Amino acid sequence: MLSEQQVLIVGGGHVGLSFALLLAHHGIASTLLEKNSYPTISPNDDQTRSHYLDSRNTALSRRTVQIYEEIGLWSELQSHACRIDAVQISEQGSFGRAQLNKEDEQVESFGQVMENAWLGRKLLLAAQEESLITIIDNANVTAVEQQKAGVTLRFNYYDTDEHEQELQASLLVACDGRDSTIRPLLNIGTTTYDYKQTAIVGVVQTDKPHEHVAIERFSPAGPLAVLPLTDPEGDGNDDYQKGYRRSVVWVCPTGEETQYLEDDAHFLQTLQKAFGQRAGTFVAAGRRGAYPLTRVLAKQQVDGRCVIMGNAAHTLHPVAGQGFNLCMRDAHVLAQMISAQVLKGADIGDPTLLKRYEKSRQTDQKRVIRFCDAVVHGFTHPNPAIKLARNVALIAFDKLPNIKPLIANYAMGLKS
């Protein structure tokens, strides 16, 4: 039997690694199990981008940046982050439009856009260097059993003949994604909704500098976005950088994605038609990925001494980039509650505490889920009266006082 740890974390993606680092910040040990094999990296590896246009990216809200600042990691991340100073919102073929500016809202930025590969690399390096975190990759979880005083997890290693192994802890947190292994082992069901949309995600280059402006554009097919990215070298937050790279999320009806994946010229022409000259001319596109969009919500996020977190708890539509940031707020709250238990000398896996965590996160989670669905359905509804109403609403949002600060704070994750 392996040595006992206080917390077991299943799933070593961005949320799982971040949660382990949050716990370590509070002096709490954890063992993290990941089904994939982690790459071998070191702090001295080449840190430049190997592919100018080939990368997936994540928009980090202002609150998520603050969380990484709190645990001392933002200084390691920020060289590949690009500020969002303004957000433009409009609908294709309509008159309604609005804009948020950081000066008006008196904030440093609305958030940052970062390459997933860089974020994952830095999180993994930080976890590997943290003595309070034990990492087990290539791990196949086979069983979870709960006792009155703890949780027992059994696993073996993929592609080996080693016997099943066992870990024990006071608490288990599952961050193992939309297709979670832990959820069914705990007999936790889900509610799902198929948007019948597919997101095409990639990076493009334009002939016009982005000037740290994010563009949200709504089309009959679904919501679209181009977000500012760093230049190939250096810090994307330096004012001298022009910035011609942009992250793209293009949503199309499922079944139409092949034409956008295989034909660069067609993809660029379609983007140009949808965005007009707001981003300039789209001149190059990198390799793209297609991701079917389905909302998956766990029917419960706590079962005894087990917590469901991250995409295992709520997989959302990518509109407005809220999903990962909601997960980070969940992780931050749970880490604080566990830390408070440790300071009191109390049981960190106390089911009553975990139910209190679940209840405390409901308002924020429900608000974000409702917002995402309202935007998706509201801006794709073909009814002319609804189209008129949403364009009037955009103008009202742009012109009426006190509305922008409220929406901006929610988008930045500063009100939950």
* Residues 199, 213 within the same domain: yes
CA torsion through residues 176, 257, 293, 372, sign: positive
- Compute the C-alpha angle 228/61/328, nearest 5°: 135
Query: Do 153 and 31 reside in the same domain of the chain?
Result: yes
Q: Which domain holds residue 201?
A: 57-113+195-293+383-411
- Shared domain for 205 and 280, answered yes or no, is yes
User: CATH code at 269?
Assistant: 3.30.9.10
Query: How many domains in the chain?
Result: 2
> Is 144 a member of any domain?
yes
Residues 287 and 201 in one domain: yes
State mean pLDDT over 17-44.
92
What is the mean pLDDT of the segment spanning 341-369?
95
**Do residues 299 and 289 share a domain?**
no
Q: What pLDDT band is residue 4 in, cutting at 50, 70 and 90? A: very low
Report residue 361's pLDDT band, with 50, 70 and 90 as the boundaries. very high
**Domain identity same for 213 and 355:** no
What does the pLDDT read at residue 122?
A: 92
pLDDT bin (cut points 50, 70, 90) of residue 409 is: low
Residue scoring higher pLDDT (12 or 118): 12
Q: Are residues 239 and 266 in the same domain?
A: yes
Q: What is the largest CA-CA distance in the chain?
A: 66
Conformational region of residue 246, where left means phi above 0, alpha means psi within -120 to 50, and beta covers everything else: beta
Residue 32 · residue 16 · CB < 8 Å: yes
Residues 146 and 176 in one domain: yes
* 295: its two tokens: 């909302």
Please indicate, yes or no, whether residues 254 and 348 belong to a single structural domain of this protein. no
- Mean of per-residue pLDDT scores for the chain: 86
pLDDT of residue 224: 85
- Of the listed ranges 111-115, 153-157, 303-307, the one predicted with least confidence: 111-115
Q: Give me the pLDDT at residue 178, please.
A: 95
CATH number at residue 365: 3.50.50.60
Kindly calculate the radius of gyration of the chain based on its CA atoms and give it in whole angstroms.
Answer: 22
Question: 233-286: per-residue pLDDT in tens?
Answer: 544 455 445 688 999 998 899 999 999 999 999 999 999 998 889 899 999 999
Q: With 0-12 CB in 10 A as exposed, 13-18 as middle and 19+ as buried, what is 381?
A: middle
Does residue 377 sit within a domain?
A: no
Mean pLDDT of 342-361: 96
- In the structure, what pLDDT confidence band is assigned to residue 41 with cuts at 50, 70 and 90? confident
Contact 403, 350 (CB under 8 A): no
Residue 381 has pLDDT above 80, yes or no: no
Considering the domain architecture, whether residues 127 and 100 belong to the same structural domain is answered as no
pTM (global) more than 0.95 = no
State whether 130 and 177 are in the same domain.
yes
pLDDT greater at residue 174 or residue 87: 174
Most confident of 77-81, 170-174, 202-206, 408-412: 170-174
* pLDDT of amino acid 2: 39
